[in-house]
Amino acid sequence: MNVKLPINPLNEGEEKFYTGVGSRAIDFDIDFLMKRCGYVLANLGYILRSGGAEGSDKAFEDGCDQIDDSLKRIWRPKHATPEAIEIAKQYHGRWDLVTEHAAKLHGRNIFQVLGRSLEVPSEFVLCYTHDGCTNHKDRTAKTGGTGTAISVASERGIPIFNLKLARHRKIVEEWLRRFR
């Protein structure tokens, strides 16, 4: 992976987004790592896009909030639009089984990657899934709802760092060492 995480603060008025999402069930060390990422990225001026769920989403949000709680966009199912749901539908293999509420959950995941306009992609995705998924074709049941965000990001060439994978975790940990 040739992608590098940001090092320098953004210029005043510049907006850059990242997606911080993942499993609700995470270990303490992943929680800590995500909080640290949220903190450092907020300190650099990056805006978090997430879903407000327990676990991964909350960890990124908690880190961000230590700097500035205005540097986040938290998308809830009620925010899902028909356009976002239609995009999500393209990435789900069994949409006929999806309930109305689940459709809204998948729709809000589209905003986590593409923003409200569906035209301003995140620069990268930081996540944790139990299967280590990093692209649409490798999704499994263990990817969970985060799979929608991973699918839309991977299909658009947005870099994905899944902290389940040792090599991705190492990249993120080495990046964080620069900010001690």
State the amino acid at position 67 in one-letter form: I
Nearest to 131 by CA among 140, 118, 122, 121: 140
* Straight-line distance from the first to the last Cα atom of the chain, in angstroms, rounded to the nearest whole number: 24
134 touches 118 (CB < 8 A)? no
Residues 24-49: pLDDT tens digits? 999 999 999 999 999 999 999 999 99
pLDDT the model gives residue 2? 60
Question: What pLDDT was estimated at residue 28?
Answer: 97
Question: What are the chain's domains?
Answer: 17-177 (3.40.50)
Low-confidence spans in the chain with pLDDT less than 50: none
Q: How much is the pLDDT for 13?
A: 82
Nearest Cα neighbor of 36 from 167, 169, 150, 135 is: 169
In this structure, the dihedral spanned by the alpha carbons of residues 90, 95, 101 and 106, taken in order and rounded to 10 degrees, is -30
